[in-house]
Every structure is written in C-alpha cells, then in structure tokens.
Amino acid sequence: MNEMMFEDYDYEDVEVEYADYYEDDTYVMPDEESWKDDSDEQTVDPFTLDELYNYCIIPTITDSHKHLIGILSWSFLFLLSSRTFRIPKVLIHLSSTVSGGALLWHMFDWRSCLMGGLFVITYLNLLSSHFVLRRWRGPSCFIIGVIYLIVCEFWMVNPMWWHAFRGIQMVILMKLVSVGYDLDTSQLKEFPNLFEVTGYTFNPGTVIFGPWIPFTSYQNVLSPLKWGLKWVLKILMNLSISVAFLIFSTCLVNWLIPDNSNRWFIAYRDALSFRSSHYFVSYLSEVSLNLAGIESVSVSKPLKIEFPRSLVEVVIYWNTPMHHWLKTYVFKPSRVKFGPFAAIIFTYGMSALFHGLNFQIAAVLFSLGFYTYTEHMLREKLAVIFDACILARPCKSCKHRKKDSTLFCIFVNLILGLVTMFHLAYLGMMFDSSSQMQEKGYNAAHTLKKWSTLNYSSHWVAFFMYVLMAVL
C-alpha cells in the first residue's frame, strides 16, 4: 500500500495534538448504581424528569464542581500572574510550574509525587542523552518513561490510585518525549532550560486533562494575551458543552435507554455514555487551555464520531492532538524501519502501552488497528474499481468519475458509516458503569464476557471485510 491512514490526514485546522485518554482516567463520575436498583430481577419504574433532575443531575453537578473549580481557577490564576503585566520569562515558567504543581497537590495530595518522579527520571535521561550521546533523546525518554509507568502499575501503586491518574502520567510523558524527538530532528534548535521544561510539563491548563501541545505552542505564554469578548464567549460555550456532555453521560443516557432494552441498544447506550464522558473531558481541556492563555486547540469533534464516514475519521477526531502526536513521533519513525502495516500495529501498541497495561484498552486499540487498516484498504480498492469517491476520507481534489454527491457514493458511504457505528457500539460496550471495575480498570474476563454476549459479531464483520479486501 502506497499511502496509509496516518500519512493522509490533514491538520491545517489543528495546531497541535492529542493526549488520548485523559478522559475517564483522571475523573471518576458519580456512581450511577446509587440511583439505580441493585436487583436485576426487579423492574423499576423509570424516573420522572423531576426525579432525574433532583437525584442525578443536581448531585452530578455538585460532585463535579469541586474538581472543575480547582482546574479552572489555577489555570486562570496562572493567566493573571503571567499575562496581565510584563514579568521576566523565568518567572512566567516558574508561575506555570507552581500553579500546575499546586493543582496536582489539590487533587491528589502526596500521590502527585509520582508525577514528579516520572518527570525527574525522564528529564535526567533527556539531559544525559542530549549532552553525552547527543542523539536518541526521544527514544530513550520513551523507554525510560514506559519502564517507570510499568513499575508503578504493577509493583508500586495501588491499582485504584493508578487508574485515577495514569492519564496525567501519559500526558507528562508525551510532552517530554516530544521535546526529545524535536531535539533529534532539529525542530528545537536549543535545549530548553529546566524552568522552561517544568513550566511546559506542569502548566495548569494541560497537566490534568491535557491536551498534549508541542513545546512551541506552550511558548505562546511569553507573548501578550489578546483579551476580548470572543475569547470569553468561547470559554463559556465550551464549558457549557462540557457540562452538558457530563450530564448526558451520567444521567440521561441510562434514562433514555433502560436496562430492560434490547442487548444491542444496551451496548450502544454503554458505548455512547463512555464517548460522552470523553467529550466532557475534551471540551473541558479546551476551556482550561484557553483560561491558561495558550493557543486554542480542537481536541475532539463529536459529530464526526457519532455520525462517522469511516473508522479512520473516528480515530482522527476522537482526540486530534494525541493522534497527531502518535503520527509524528511513533508512526512516521517506525514506518521507515518496519513498513506501513507493522507501523500501524506498533502505533496502536504504543498507544495501548501509554494507557496502561490493561487488556480491555489493548483489545480495543488493536481491534481498531485491524479494523481501520482493513477499511482503508477495502475503500481504496473499491474506489479504483468503481472510480468513485468512497475513500475513508473525503476526496479534496480527485479525478474520480463518481463524486461524493452522486447517489452511488452517498449510498456506499452511508452503509460503511453504519458499519462504523456498529463497530463503535461493540468496541465501547465494555466501558460500562460497573463502579468496582471502573476504579481498578477492566480485566480480560470482563471484556471477553461483554463481547461474547454479542457473539463477537463485530470481529466477524471485520474479518469478512478483510477477506473481501484480500480477494479484490
């Protein structure tokens, strides 16, 4: 194959990248079991709107504001301390570090030392590889950081604690690895000093939920901020959307699709609830980023995911900053050495590793790797056979005889889009509201049991598509 998914994507409207999955890793939703009957055998009348408002929506907002106020307040305090009047650059970076450190301590108390430990060992490795080896800065940071994460996950940290903040560790590691790779490729001309790196790593606008931003974007904090009504309205709009997705995920989805529904409706409900919690975090991360005075980033695009053209686009728009990070620092270097298909598998493997050594996440990501590769290649072959715009991404300028607006292309893209929605329901169904599972992470038995209830149908469909792709 000549051009693969990660190579063809357009980032003109996205300045930076993604940090996948800080969403449910760093924020624990209120326990839905507290407002649902514990007995599977007993039928419970659905809540009225008034009961839903009083017993779910209000408690959800009340419980969540404790964390949200801290994140938004420290981001705004950093903005006020660094951008309202001119101060030396070193004080700006120091303010970023102190604000982010205070936020981490506010949310995780002494456990925030684990984030500091990851920074220390990775930064020391970055120093040694830069001044001693003068190469391999990115790969060495990646290796030493992953070893630290594995040791923490299996031997040092309570699983419930680790599940709560492993997303933060992932963002920290992504930042330091990107600095190393940018030095290797001369994207950064000079080695940033300690104040610059700590300010970048622990900036309050990105340290909790992300998103990942490159070091060059962080340096915008050194420039005067353009205050204005547009800036304020954007913050308020994104905050409102974020809270709306939180309420929808925690309360409304289970009210609209009750437990006595068809198993496929329940699968779609659980997956939709999980996706909505991700949208909550994505929009909240945009708010914190703007409040910290850093250039705005589009993290996720829910409409592109809920009404998809293809799984390839879902992968892109799920978290565009992290996707860009994976493409730049994992896929491209590995493709040169191993080829496109192996690079895709390696990229999804690294994404799974960054999210923690968890069977559930690994199973979903490796399935996505196989699904997206199959879909991309099948669509590419069908586009040639039918001379039609039915690629995984819309054609920008092509010589296909049948354009996107033709009835044939609309029909094919609609059918494959529905297949994508089917895959999303199947892959996301195990991210349910089992509170004990959520606190520790989902194991292999939980994942396979969930998929077995649907007879592994999505994997069979993907296998059929692969066979069809292979024979064409």
Contact 180, 126 (CB under 8 A): yes
Q: List alpha helices for 292-394, DSSP H.
A: 302-306, 311-318, 320-326, 332-338, 340-354, 359-386
User: What are phi and psi for residue 246, nearest 5 degrees?
Assistant: -65, -45
Per-domain residue ranges of the chain: 49-222, 317-471
Closest CA to 331 of 1, 4, 2, 6: 6
275, 361, 17, 389: CA torsion to nearest 10:
-70
Cα distance between the two ends of the chain: 14
* pLDDT tens digits, 10-50: 333 333 333 333 334 333 434 434 334 443 444 455 677 88
pTM for the full predicted model: 0.86
pLDDT of res. 318: 94
pLDDT tens, per residue, the chain with 472 residues:
443 433 333 333 333 333 333 334 333 434 434 334 443 444 455 677 888 888 888 988 888 887 789 899 999 999 998 888 888 999 999 999 999 999 999 988 888 898 999 999 999 999 998 888 778 888 899 899 988 888 887 776 677 777 778 889 999 999 999 999 999 988 888 999 999 999 999 999 999 998 999 999 999 888 887 778 888 999 999 999 999 999 999 999 988 988 888 888 888 998 999 999 999 999 999 999 999 988 878 899 999 999 999 999 999 999 999 999 999 999 888 888 887 788 888 888 888 888 777 788 888 889 999 999 999 999 999 999 999 999 999 888 788 888 888 999 999 999 999 999 999 999 988 776 554 455 555 667 777 888 888 899 999 999 999 999 999 8
Give the residue numbers annotated as catalytic, written as ranges: 355
Element containing residue 62 per DSSP (H, E):
helix 58-83
The residues, ordered by sequence, that sit 6+ positions from 97 with a Cβ below 8 Å of its Cβ are 195, 198, 199, 201, 202
Is the bond preceding residue 211 a cis peptide, omega within 30 degrees? yes
Query: Residue 16 has what pLDDT?
Result: 33
